[in-house]
Amino acid sequence: MDWNRFKNYYLSINKLNFSLDISRMNFNKSFFDYMEEDMQRAFSDMDQFEKGSIANPDENRMVGHYWLRNSSIAPNEEIKKAIDSNLKHIHDFAQKIHSGEIKSSSGPFKNMIIIGIGGSALGPQFVSQALFNPKRNRLTPYFFDNTDPDGFDLILNHLKNELDQTLVIIISKSGSTPETRNGMIEAEAVYGKAGLNFAKHAVAITGTNSQLDQNCKKQGWLDSFPLWDWVGGRTSELASVGLLPAALEGIDIDQMLKGARDMDEVTRSHNTKENPAALIALMWYHATNGKGAKDMVILPYKERLSLFSKYLQQLIMESLGKEKDLQGKIVHQGISVYGNKGSTDQHAYVQQLRDGINNFFVTFIEVLKDRETKSLDVDPGITSGDYLHAFLLGTREALSENNRESITITINEVTGYTVGALIALYERAVGFYASLININAYNQPGVEAGKKAAAATLSLQEKIVKFLEQNSDQSFDAFQIAEKINEIQKSEIVFKILDHLAANPDKPISKTIQTPFDKSTFKLQK
């Protein structure tokens, strides 16, 4: 790497203990001049969003996750007071749990099950792993982040001897999210079977007057916290969604908020070359030609940040993966994101990154501090941390030698402050990039389409079961059933539903396997 290019494209922000190196991205000297007008428009868009303009035109909503860490910039006094009041509420509730003022019938709470999906789980999971400290941790978190019965059983069986000392936090803005609702029903049933009052263990994070909010009030749950419509799920980690679990775990949420607030101040700058979020957005545009032409690989060389790629996967792909632009033109935008951690990845897919198809760019995340205490030598004068750092630099160099582009983000250590800063950095980079490519980063029509298709599948299952109940003395193959219920075009889905029903003991459907497979028959068991 040319030393002068490195100096020109290395941004160091001392007050954040943060630096960004874009020198290994192969843009030419005219790139910044070419993009400057578009970047200034993106700055202007972001300024207006922070002032409360409509950022999500599809749902006619403001987008205010920036206000969460600095309520003084909220567009009105009502929102400011709501943010400040909620933060105090979170601190007060966590203190009461930690002190034992709020406790279970058998003593202080030791654990918590967090029931949520998407941003309601990915953010809390990332933060919990990044900031876990066995000397400080108060409540141990477990997650229901799916509607997988086996997953429920694994956690509930693990906690069966401490169920009474396990808090349950249910997170859903609407209160009707199927995965979250199912997890709540399963947990409530297990608590009831154990002779425990679920309401005395339950906390809601939800929208005002949602189904979940009404249920919480009706049953007298321990407490509830708001989810405002101007905070999207994927940008909710610094709202109740992320702050309450973190505070209960014993994490310093004020430092997280401060890190995010300080990063916001830096990334409000309209000086493109001094704004790390703007530089990242521009590198995405350069690497992907503004059309998602390459994948983004996230490689943090730190165990604590191993879930960061999953967190960013949702933040970036759900925000940028859009069919239409703001004018309704078909554009099929997005950037695919994947990653794990270094140096594990060197023994997984770095071989392809180095020698295979060049359809990606990498973001390395470098953490300078190895551990809290002094490290021992594994070789003379060399520690395990030295090896990890050498693997990062070596992998980066090996990729560059073969014309594989990379960005490097450097932080001093993983703390609440730096985690908050990283969250804020990428939230704003996503917003800038969305402006550059002219899409709405704050809706998710594809997710809603999937939910509708799932609901239709469950309706189809009801039709299948009803037909078999009405013809319980006969066996049918999948196509015959599809034909009988007037769903021939969905014959494949009918077969898949029948296969699932027959595999589960709670469903009274039997399968007789035949060759070829499509002649297998299904029958209601009497």
Distance CA 416, CA 394 (A): 29
Is 110 in the active site? no
Helix (H, G, I), strand (E, B) or coil at 82: helix
Nearest CA-CA partner of 388 in 405, 370, 376, 414? 370
Given the residues 318, 366, 405, 427, the one annotated as active site:
318
Q: Vertex 55, ends 53 and 57: CA angle to 5°?
A: 105
**Polymer length in residues for the chain:** 526
Phi then psi for 289, rounded to 5 degrees? 60, 25
**Residue 435, both tokens:** 């402006």
Q: Which of 15, 347, 374, 526 is catalytic?
A: 347
Are 431 and 442 within 8 A, CB to CB? no
Residue 45: strand, helix, or coil: helix
> What is the rounded radius of gyration, in angstroms, for the C-alpha atoms of the chain?
26
- Exactly one of 160, 291, 369, 451 is catalytic; name it: 451
| Other residues' Cβ atoms within 10 Å of the Cβ of residue 4 | 9
The structure tokens listed for 117 are: 């999906």
3-state secondary structure of 227: coil
Distance between CA atoms of residues 56 and 227, nearest Å:
17
Q: Which stretch of DSSP H or E encloses residue 114?
A: strand 111-115
Q: Is the peptide bond before 516 cis (omega within 30 degrees of 0)?
A: yes
Which structure tokens are listed for 348?
């997984």
29 catalytic? Reply is: no
- Residue 120 in contact with residue 241, Cβ under 8 Å? yes
Q: Is 80 a catalytic residue?
A: no
Query: In which order are the strands placed within the sheet that holds 476-477?
Result: 476-477, 521-524, 509-512
Say which residue the tokens 């994070």 belong to: 205
Instruction: Give the whole-angstrom CA distance, residue 494 versus residue 169.
Output: 36
- One DSSP character per residue, 429-477 reads HHHHHHHHHT--TT--HHHHHHHHHHHHHHHHHHHHHHHHHHTTT--EE
Sign of CA dihedral 253, 257, 260, 263: negative
Q: Of all helices (H) and strands (E), which one includes residue 143? A: strand 140-144
Helix (H, G, I), strand (E, B) or coil at 324: strand
Residues that are catalytic: 318, 347, 451
